[in-house]
Amino acid sequence: MKALLHNTFQVGAGEVIQLATKVDNPPLLAGYTTPPHGSKWAKVKKTNATDTREFTCPGTTGQQVTFAVSCAEAIPTGAPSKVAVYSLSFSSLTNPKDSPVNSGIAVPQGLGPISQTYTFIVQ
């Protein structure tokens, strides 16, 4: 897995990618395009502040996986931080030596949901 520009990644055929999401200001309120275009989610695990899931990239060069992640917040009045910061970490389970790629979405109180789109192109 190699990060290109604008949330686009270059991946190998059949590569398994893990997406780990965590929020610093729980609860975690994140929606993921389901199913992701070109694949499906697997091994989804959730807690109050984390979400972990995997998907497998297509086996044909030129095909791609695309999905959006929409994040919101439920920050109570009086909390010291008025922003919920979501950290998204993409890592290749097929090629664990590849460095994980980090992305993020900060959702100020009352201004969500905020979405990012991610694309993985098989090359």
Binding footprint of other proteins on the chain (CB under 8 A): 6-7, 24-34, 37, 46, 48-49, 66-70, 72, 74-81, 83, 85, 87, 102-117
- Judged by CB, which is closer to other proteins: 48, or 60? 48
Identify which of residues 61 and 81 has a Cβ nearer to other proteins in the complex.
81
Q: How far apart are CA 43 and CA 5, in angstroms?
A: 28
Q: How far is the CB of 74 from other proteins (least distance, A)?
A: 4
If the CB atoms of residues 61 and 102 are measured against other proteins, the closer one turns out to be: 102
Q: What are residue 59's phi and psi, to 5 degrees?
A: -90, 0
Q: State residue 37 phi and psi, 5-degree precision.
A: -65, 120
CA distance 5 to 60: 22
